Structure 1
Amino acid sequence: MLRIHFTGEDLARTTIAPGADPLWEVLISLHRLRGRDAAVLFGDWKRQVLPCVPPSTALLTALAPAKGYSVDFLTPTTPVRTLSAQLEALRRTPQSTLRGDLRLLAQLHPRRRLPAWVGSLADGGTDAVAAVASAAAGYFHSCLGPYWSRIQAQIDRLRISGHRLVADRGWGAVFETLHPSARWSFPVLQLDYPTSGDIDLRGRGLVLQPSFFCLHAPTAFRDPSLAPVLVYPIEHSVGWAATPSGAGRGGGLGSLLGPPDHAFGNLAAGAGTAEPLGP
């Protein structure tokens, strides 16, 4: 159960995100691509994009396991939610944030060995950070770009209905539509969550981020110091993934399995292992 604690100031600062968030959709769609759930909703999309997945996507899946914690720095919050702005923020991630998130990744997935190039990333190596950003861009353009207008349109419709609901009935009514498990009793919003935890907003407000690829439970940053964002699933129309007008080219399903370290060129050379990041 996730408990989000509000003040009156937080309610005044709560907003619905202005549109789909590119890097959140990159991250969460990777879960859908590797899972076997929701075949009715996402099966057509998976069949269409699997042949187009770039080999560099393995850099992302190393940082975002199919289940459990993924590093927070893959989804930076920017004033303008465009792919270019987010990629620039990703490239500028402070070394302390990289190391902290990667250490937590190692701690929370103790049986999962991280590839050698992650050592360079933890040290703030500019080539390593740039490679991760480029991998996110390549995956987005190949696997999400051909569908992005449909994704945006569906989230825009939800935003419009959400704003109407705020005007008619207030934030409490909006909170209770976020998820079947949502329970609102000021000052606490409760929702089903993979782990038990609390988010104290402390006057910062909350951004409600609808996500096209999110399923089951909402998700949020693990780091409590980050700007509070609640990412939650939307309803879909079956058959949304009609054949796109254009699709990228990539390395196919094999990229998700992770190529050997030498496939990353200089990133792997001398990078060491991620084991020192552990506890």
Structure 2
Amino acid sequence: MFRFKVESHDLAASRFALSPLMELDAVLRLLGGLSDARGRLPPAVHERFERRYAPLRGDPLVQALELLRTPRHGVTFLTPPPGSLGQTVDDDVAQVRATPPEVAIAEIAEALARRARGRHVAGPADAVARWVESLPGESLVGQLADTLEELWRCVVGPDWPLLRAVAERDVLHRAQRLTSEGWAGALDDIHPRVRWRAPYVEVLGHPAGTVDLDGRGLLLVPSVFVTSGVAVYADRQWRAALVYPARGHAALWSSRRPPGAAVERLLGRGRARILLAVDTGASTTQLARELELSPAGVSAHLGVLLEAGLLTRSRMGRTVVYRRSPLGDALAAAGDDDPVPGTAGPATG
């Protein structure tokens, strides 16, 4: 069991954060069969990402990146640590480009040595080693950064507004609980292997160890691709971090159920979709991203649903959060019994 020791002053220093290149690394691991089978994407979603990735597989640099990953390890400088919720892929790629060449070469050499010691084919790794040795360090770092940028653009980028919205909704939920209930509330349903035992955040099933946060706080990082476990980061180049499955990722991959026909006729399709989407609370911007609607249109629909008593709203900092009222819950639940043409039952993921 691994433990983060948390003192009272760590609460104020703790933050939520996102890392686009960490998400890219996670999906490439899924496509490469390096992740636990329980964490694989549903077949239809896996195929969508595979179609995007397939044309790039023959690129020598993409092959090099594949060979530098093993089921339990990777190259640290290629997945910059998360720092804030506002972190963008441009920020991440810039961090990769800023890696000192000697650091990049040392990390790659370590990854290749680790691969050679494991049960992996040595031949391709030898080819990567020769390629690394043939390039000046600056060129090596720059080419790998370019490759990550292209992989992001082709594989994950098209879905990022939706994926980010799901992660942000998780943050909204946990930030409210962290503020009102402390660590116990924020960690209550984060993952079955994570629990609060004051003054420790405990991660079951992880190699034993204890890290004292010492006032630095803990980064909580929701992921839409880390779907079956949790990851712990305690290296000094990172802030102490816990990466966990974003709340609502299962509904994302199984596709949100369509509104019932009667509810849709009553409210209109746009308002019916929004009523279903605010089950765990969401802001106007998050709903616009998730449902691919204009912010102005979402705002207008929210106003009507609020006036009808189907929603409530509250403020968290500068963000207005909308949730279903008891009346809205009843109407949304009534839609479950509506026959929806073309559906055979609830989706599973």
TM-score band by shorter chain is 0.7 to 0.9
Q: Deviations over 1:170-200 (max 9, x none)?
A: 1222123221111212222111345333333
Q: Which amino acid aligns with 1:233?
A: P
Quote the residue 2:6 is aligned against: 6
Q: Choose from 151, 159, 163 the match for 1:147.
A: 159
Q: Choose from 68, 73, 79 the match for 1:75.
A: 79
C-alpha distance in 2 between matches for 1:175 and 1:124: 46
Aligned length: 239
Deviation at 1:222, TM superposition (A): 5.9
C-alpha distance in 2 between matches for 1:69 and 1:40: 18
Q: What runs of 5+ residues in structure 1 fail to find an aligned partner?
A: 242-279
Q: How does 1:108-119 map to 2 (within 5 A)?
A: 108-109=114-115, 110-111=117-118, 112=120, 113=122, 114-118=125-129
Deviation at 1:209, TM superposition (A): 0.6
Aligned 8 A contact 2:96 2:141 in 1: yes
Identical pairs, percent:
24
Deviation at 1:97, TM superposition (A): 3.3
Q: Deviations over 1:215-239 (max 9, x none)?
A: 2221133633422222111242143
C-alpha distance in 2 between matches for 1:60 and 1:144: 16
Q: Choose from 166, 171, 176 the match for 1:164.
A: 176
C-alpha distance in 2 between matches for 1:121 and 1:10: 42
C-alpha distance in 1 between matches for 2:74 and 2:39: 23
Q: Deviations over 1:103-152 (max 9, x none)?
A: 54345441343344446758971111112112211111111112112101
C-alpha distance in 2 between matches for 1:222 and 1:103: 22
Deviation at 1:240, TM superposition (A): 3.6
Does 1:236 find its partner at 2:220? no
Aligned 8 A contact 1:49 1:142 in 2: no
Does 1:86 find its partner at 2:95? no
Relative distance call for 1:90 and 1:115 in structure 2 (3 A) is: farther
Q: Choose from 181, 192, 208 the match for 2:204.
A: 192
TM-score by length of 2: 0.61
Q: What runs of 5+ residues in structure 2 fail to find an aligned partner?
A: 257-349
Quote the residue 1:181 is aligned against: 193
Which segment drifts farther, 226-235 or 136-145?
Answer: 226-235
Relative distance call for 1:64 and 1:85 in structure 2 (3 A) is: same
Which segment drifts farther, 165-174 or 32-41?
Answer: 32-41
Q: Which structure's relative contact order is higher, taking Cα pairs within 8 Å and 6+ residues apart?
A: 1
C-alpha distance in 1 between matches for 2:64 and 2:242: 25
Determine helix, strand or coil for the equivalent of 1:69: coil
C-alpha distance in 2 between matches for 1:212 and 1:49: 14
Q: CA RMSD in A?
A: 2.8
Q: Choose from 5, 30, 39 the match for 1:32.
A: 30
TM-score by length of 1: 0.74
Relative distance call for 1:228 and 1:128 in structure 2 (3 A) is: same
C-alpha distance in 2 between matches for 1:7 and 1:100: 36
Higher helix content, 1 or 2: 2
Relative distance call for 1:199 and 1:240 in structure 2 (3 A) is: farther
Does 1:58 find its partner at 2:63? yes
Aligned 8 A contact 1:213 1:233 in 2: yes
Q: Which amino acid aligns with 2:197?
A: S
Q: Deviations over 1:19-74 (max 9, x none)?
A: x4210101111122123835884321221222321234323222222x11112212
